[in-house]
Structures are given as C-alpha cells and as structure tokens.
C-alpha cells in the first residue's frame, strides 16, 4: 500500500526486499534534544515578552518566537536524522525539506499566537498543544518523505498512527504543564520556565523517535547505484541549513534571554511600585483608622466624634431640626474588668459596641470616647422619639452575655441632651449630656435621664462644695465628733465611733450626708478617711493618757480605701505615729464596699485582723451581702442599721427583722451593735433580744473631744450606771 508517498509494511512481503540494520549517534541525539529545549525556552520567553508588550510589537515577537520554535523542531529533526546511521548513502529532496520547515514554522506561529495572548485560558493551551502535535507529526513525515536513498522506507500502520496520537498527547501534556508553570506569583520563575522548556523538548524528541520506530528500511536484491555527487551536495546543503537555523535559534535564544531579563526587571520594578503603592495605601488607611476609629471596637473615636458633632450641629441648625446626644457608661465595668480580667473586659466592650450599632439606624453615629464611655449622635423629630431611641438602647444592653464562661447581665446608664434646646454649642451639649449621665448613675444606674436646667445649678453647687471641701481638708476645716457606744448589760461606755463633721464658714456644722458623696465621686474620700483615722487615733491616745484606757475607737473605712494595696501599711504607720496598740482600733466597712471585690477585701481584712485590729460591718441589712460571703469574712461585729431600729416597737416588720439580725449575728459568733437607739422601749427590746451594744441619741449624741471628755469624767463619777446620768 502506497498512500501519499508513504509505503506501509503490508507491501513488504513477497517484494524481494531485505530489511537493513540502522543505529543512532548518541552525541547528535543529545544535541538535537538540547536544541529542542533551547528553542522551547526561547519561545516561552518571547511569548511572555509578547504578552507584556504593545499590540504591534507583539506581532513581531510572535513571528520571532514562531521561527524559533518551528526552526528548532525542524533542526532537531534533521540533526536526529544525521544521527540516524544507515549502511547506504542518504540525501534529501530540497523542495520537501523546505516544505517541512514551512509546516513547522506555521504550526509554531499558530501555537505562539495562542499562548501569547494577554488573557490566557485553558483552551489556549489545548489549542496550542494540538497545533504543535499535528505540526511536528506532519513536519516529521514530510521530512522523512524528503529522504532519497536506495533503501526503501516502509511504515507499520499501527505504530504510524500511534506516533501521531503520541504527538498530540505529548504536545497537549507539555502545554498544560507550561500552563501550570506560568501561573502568576509562582516562586523561582526562571527555574519553572527551564523545566517547562525541558518538558517541551522531551515531548518534541519523543515524537521524532516514536515516528522512527514505525519505519523499516529495506534494500532490493539488485540496488541501483546513486550519484555520489548528488548525495554529497545534499548533505552539504542540509548541514549548512541546520547550522544556519541553529545559529538563528541561538540568536533568538539570546534575544529571548535579554528580553526575558528586561521583562523580569520590568516585572520586579512594577511589583516594587505596586507594593510601595499598596503599602502607602495601607499606611494611609491605617493612619486614617487610627485617627478616626477606635482600635478595639471599630467605632468612631473621640477625635472623630468631636469633628462629627460640630458638622452635624451645623447641618441641623441649618435645617432647623433637633439632634440627640447620648452619653453611655457601663455600670460596674471596673469590677468586671478586675474580677474577670482585661481580656473579658475587652470582649465586653466589643459586645457593647456591636449591640449599640445594632440598636441604631444607619444614619446615626456611635463612638467610644475611652474606657467604658460611649456616645451616640442621632437625628430625632422630637423628645418622644429621643426617649424611645434611648430606651431601645437601654433594653438592648440588658441582654445576657457570656464572659469568661459566666452568663451575666451588664446594665448601662445613659445621659441625654437635645440640640438646640439643651445647648447651642458642642461644649454645652456635651456638658449637659454628661450631667444627665451623672444623674442616671446617682439614681441607681440602669436608667436614662435627659438634661434639665436644675441639673446644671446642682452641678455648679456641687463643684463649689468640692472646691471648698478640698480647701477644708488641707486647712483644718474638718473635725471629728465621737459617739459613745454602750454595753447594754453594764451600761458602760466601751468604745467610740469617730464621725466627720465640716465646719463650713457660711453654713455652719455640716454632717457627712452633705459632702461625703461629693468626696467619693471626685476621688478624695480616701484622703478624708486617712485624715479621720489619724485624728481619731491621736485623740484616743489623749483619752488613754487621761485614764480612759478601756476605750476603743471605731473609724469608717470606705470602699476606695479598702481597695488600695497600701491600706494595711498606712494603718500600721498611723497606729505607730499615735503610739496606739492595734487592739484599740476598729474599722467599720459597709456591705456594698465588701461586695465590690470580695476576694481582695477578704485578703485585706485578714491582714488587718492579723495585726489585732477589730473589724465590723456598718449599716448591716441595707447592702447586698449574703450569708455565704458573710461567714467567709474575718469579722468581729455587725452593726444593725438605724432604719430597722427607729420604728420599734410600732413597726412589727422592723421588730422581726431586727430580732432576726441579732439572732443571726450571735449564731455567727459576732458581737451585735444597734444604731439609732432613741427610746427606752428600743433599749428594752434590744436587751430582751440579748443585743450586745447600742449607740444613738438616747445614750449620747456625737460630741466633740472636749464635750466627750466631760461626759466620760461624769460617767466615771456615776460609775456608768444609767444612760440618763449622761
């Protein structure tokens, strides 16, 4: 069978033909593989350059790349044919040889066009693989048809078909491998391109040798003698052609390397520029976020709030519409932060911020001013809508939350002011919302208060009181009065309670109810506590020197003092300065002060008690302590609050409560002291219920040191027999 000049092996038998042996020169085979790989590398480099270049230049790079790949495949084929050794002379037809080169270049041009497009897809590589596979196969068999020799070539049809299929499969595989290696942002791009080129070279040379495996060369019984001049000329021509094309491929490769390096430099420069621009954008965005947003919650920060409130006020002033300002403060946040840790505190702040955003409308603004302080700017139509919005936020904040494995409810206090009725400037609006917040906290927390004019006058009054109180503290404006505490069994004075008084230059003698809260809220209640303890211990030492050595002194200790780490050392120093033994000092703390940080308070109280100082709970029954905590505290006494004593015996409920407290105190092995005793009936009730001690206006009002000394001397004379003798 002879089809398109190709003879198949079925015609071999019976034709009197003899198969001949042939071999390959290994060095030329290796050189042909190197040329195919170099051509592949140059082609891939030129394809990358074509992608990055302009449209007109892209056409030129494609032509160069096509000639490089097509010429490389053609050169590889004919070098491999030079490596093919037959025992007869072989020459090549010039026309068919040129046609095989043309076929190879055209196929390469189509493939080059497909893989050098700016937007590459999988179909581009598949199309390029098919073109290369068909082109190499057609070029190979055209080149084989160009052979002129007395030896006749016969092809095994199955191996012939296999070589064509292999050509397609191997070319497709090589192109898909190239696609994978050419992914953007791949590390080591030069190495990957080299591997892809070696794979392409291996694919091309494998096609050649699979085609050679399909052919069998035979000699007739009486072979003709070819012209040696023609064979020599042909070999010379073919050698010059392959050398010339190899030289061109080398030149193209050098151009490709140069272009590739240039492209790589451009790519690196572009990457650096893009990276710098990205870093600049990120830096600008970070600076903007730092300048305008809170890092923890993502809300606007104080700076952004100050800018926004002025802009919104101007807009609402121009439109003639009201604007709502809310100040929010989380109740007992410090206690949560101290007890559960700062991580839990931060998580709580993030949850509060999220809930705040969810309760607001898109046009409303929320900000974190610092700590646990938040604020809201909102457009409202009237005060009713403002109240509804504030109440919605308050309700949202009361939803349960899990922190550090504990489910709890954290409430919020809110103060509100409305523009323009509560202030025409940002400063006034903020100040008035803050006053309303202060009112909410003073009213029991977990509530909303809107600014009222009387809050401003009250704030001014409290500011004046604060200034005068600070001055009084440092200029002997404060004094102590002492109220005796009597033993109900013996009617003897057993100790004294020190009570602070303020000799106001205009208002006269002021009781603690007029100024203690102001001192507490403004952070100098600790200074008053320290001063009171120093003065009380000093005065008690004076009484001891007068002979009243049985007396002890009870001094109030506020929550802020109890929380301070230096409390124990300060008490020791005060006792040392007064030359007073610790057993003569009794510290009174309230239930609420103890409950703020139970573990810390217990540790503080245990240290104080280890010194010999007595400890008592003041105003028992009015706070939030529980029996579970009460039995853990290192206490010596409890003081029944005056509110349970003052209506006895008229109020049956107070009667029962006081009776229960006294019994409970004794069950806990604590001394029980009744406050606010003013009638003989109350004394009788206390004695009937075995109360230990009592103090109040019936036995004696609080007295200055001079009057107290006179009372004590009178009591000594009368042997402390009755209250009336005072």
Domain coordinates in residue numbering, the chain? 2-6+25-265, 302-451, 463-507+523-717
Task: Say which CATH superfamily domain 463-507+523-717 falls into.
Answer: EAL domain (3.20.20.450)
Q: Which residues contact 108 (CB under 8 A, 6 or more apart)?
A: 43, 65, 66, 67, 68, 69, 70, 73, 131, 132, 135
* pLDDT(370) > 50: yes
The answer to whether 419 and 473 are in contact (CB under 8 A) is: no
CA dist., res. 689 & res. 321, Å (int): 67
- pLDDT class for 182, splitting at 50, 70, 90? low
Structure tokens at 370: 């610092």
Quote the CA–CA distance of 138 and 119 in Å, as a whole number: 29
Instruction: Decide if 302-451 and 463-507+523-717 have a common fold.
Output: no
Q: So what's the pLDDT on residue 184?
A: 60
Peptide bond before residue 649 is cis, with ω within 30 degrees of 0: yes
> Whose structure tokens read 């044919």?
81
Report the share of the chain in percent with pLDDT over 70. 81
Residue 237: what pLDDT? 54
Instruction: Report which of residues 92 and 234 the model is more confident about.
Output: 92
* CA distance linking residue 725 with residue 86, whole number of Å: 147
d(CA 231, CA 225): 11
Lowest model confidence (mean pLDDT) among 235-244, 254-263, 709-718 = 235-244
Encode pLDDT of 686-696 as tens digits: 999 999 999 99
Instruction: Check: CB of residue 216 under 8 Å from CB of residue 86.
Output: no
Give dist(CA 624, CA 617) in Å, integer: 12
Strands across the sheet containing 152-155: 2-3, 6-8, 152-155, 215-220, 17-19
Q: What percent of the chain has pLDDT over 90?
A: 26
| Confidence band of 142 (pLDDT split at 50, 70, 90) | confident
Q: 233 pLDDT exceeds 60? A: no
Mean pLDDT of the chain: 80
Domain 302-451, architecture per CATH = 2-Layer Sandwich (3.30)
Give the residue, 499 or 723, on which the prediction is more confident.
Answer: 499
C-alpha 562: how far from chain center: 36
Average pLDDT over residues 134-147: 80
Query: pLDDT digits over 7-18, tens only?
Result: 666 555 445 566
- pLDDT surpassing 60 at residue 711: yes
Q: What is the pLDDT of residue 429?
A: 93
Q: How far apart are CA 440 and CA 19, in angstroms?
A: 111
- Lowest-confidence region among 11-25, 409-423, 510-524, 674-688: 11-25
């Amino acid at each position: 069978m002879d089809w398109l000049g190709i003879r198949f092996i079925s015609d071999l038998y019976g034709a009197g033909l003899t198969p001949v042996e042939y071999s390959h020169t290994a060095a030329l085979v290796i050189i042909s593989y190197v040329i195919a790989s170099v051509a592949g590398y140059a082609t891939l480099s030129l394809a990358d350059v074509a992608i990055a270049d302009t449209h007109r230049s892209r056409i030129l790079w494609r032509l160069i790349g096509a000639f490089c790949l097509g010429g490389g495949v053609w050169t590889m084929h004919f070098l491999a044919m030079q490596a093919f050794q037959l025992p007869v002379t072989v020459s090549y037809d010039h026309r068919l040889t040129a046609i095989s080169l043309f076929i190879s270049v055209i196929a390469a041009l189509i493939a080059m066009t497909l893989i050098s497009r700016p937007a590459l897809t999988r179909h581009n590589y598949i199309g390029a693989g098919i073109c290369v596979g068909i082109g190499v196969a057609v070029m190979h068999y055209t080149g084989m048809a160009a052979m002129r020799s007395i030896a006749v070539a016969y092809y095994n049809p199955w191996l012939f078909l296999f070589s064509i299929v292999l050509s397609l499969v191997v070319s497709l595989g090589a192109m898909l491998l190239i696609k994978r290696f050419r992914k953007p942002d791949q590390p080591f791009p030069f190495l990957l391109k080299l591997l892809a080129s070696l794979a392409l070279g291996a694919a091309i040379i494998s096609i050649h040798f699979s085609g050679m495996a399909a052919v069998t060369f035979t000699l007739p019984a009486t072979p003709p003698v070819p012209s040696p001049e023609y064979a020599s000329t042909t070999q010379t021509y073919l050698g010059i052609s392959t050398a010339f094309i190899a030289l061109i491929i080398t030149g193209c490769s050098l151009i490709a390397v140069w272009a590739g390096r240039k492209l790589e430099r451009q790519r690196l420069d572009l990457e650096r520029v893009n990276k710098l621009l990205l870093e600049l954008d990120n830096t600008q965005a970070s600076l903007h976020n730092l300048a305008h947003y809170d890092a923890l919650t993502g809300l606007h920060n104080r700076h952004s709030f100050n800018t926004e409130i002025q802009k919104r006020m101007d807009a609402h002033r121009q439109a003639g519409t009201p604007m709502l300002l809310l100040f929010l403060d989380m109740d007992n946040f410090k206690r949560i932060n101290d007890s559960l840790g700062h991580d839990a505190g931060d998580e709580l702040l993030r949850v509060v911020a999220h809930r705040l955003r969810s309760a607001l409308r898109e046009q409303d603004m929320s900000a974190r001013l610092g700590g646990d302080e938040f604020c809201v700017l909102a457009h409202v139509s009237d005060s009713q809508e403002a109240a509804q919005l504030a109440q919605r936020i308050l309700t949202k904040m009361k939803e349960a939350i899990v922190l550090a494995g504990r489910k709890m409810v954290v409430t919020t206090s809110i103060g509100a002011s409305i523009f323009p009725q509560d202030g025409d400037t940002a400063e006034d609006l903020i100040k008035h919302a803050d006053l309303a917040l202060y009112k909410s906290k003073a009213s029991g927390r977990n509530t909303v208060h809107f600014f009222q004019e009387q809050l401003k006058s009250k704030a001014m009054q409290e500011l004046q009181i604060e200034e005068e109180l600070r001055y009084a503290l440092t200029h002997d404006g404060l004094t102590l009065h002492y109220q005796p505490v009597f033993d109900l069994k013996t009617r003897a004075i057993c100790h004294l309670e020190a009570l602070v008084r303020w000799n106001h230059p205009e208002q006269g003698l002021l009781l603690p109810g007029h100024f203690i809260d102001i001192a507490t809220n403004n952070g100098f209640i600790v200074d008053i506590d320290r001063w009171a303890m120093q003065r009380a211990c000093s005065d008690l030492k004076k009484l001891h020197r007068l002979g009243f050595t049985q007396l002890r002194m009870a001094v109030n200790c506020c929550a802020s003092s109890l929380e301070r780490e230096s409390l124990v050392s300060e008490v020791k120093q005060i006792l040392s300065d007064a030359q007073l033994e610790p057993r003569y000092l009794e510290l009174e703390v309230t239930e609420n002060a103890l409950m703020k940080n139970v573990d810390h308070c217990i540790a503080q109280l245990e240290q104080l008690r280890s010194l010999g100082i007595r400890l008592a709970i003041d105003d028992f029954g009015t706070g939030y302590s529980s029996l579970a905590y009460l039995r853990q505290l290192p206490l010596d006494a409890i003081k029944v609050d005056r509110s349970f004593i003052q209506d006895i015996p008229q109020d049956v409920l107070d009667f029962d409560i006081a009776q229960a407290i006294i019994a409970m105190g004794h069950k806990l092995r604590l001394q029980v002291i009744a406050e606010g005793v003013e009638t003989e009936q109350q004394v009788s009730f206390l004695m009937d219920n075995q109360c230990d001690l009592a103090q109040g206006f019936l036995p004696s009002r609080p007295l200055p040191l001079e009057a107290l000394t006179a009372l004590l001397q009178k009591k000594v004379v009368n042997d402390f027999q009755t209250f009336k003798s005072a």
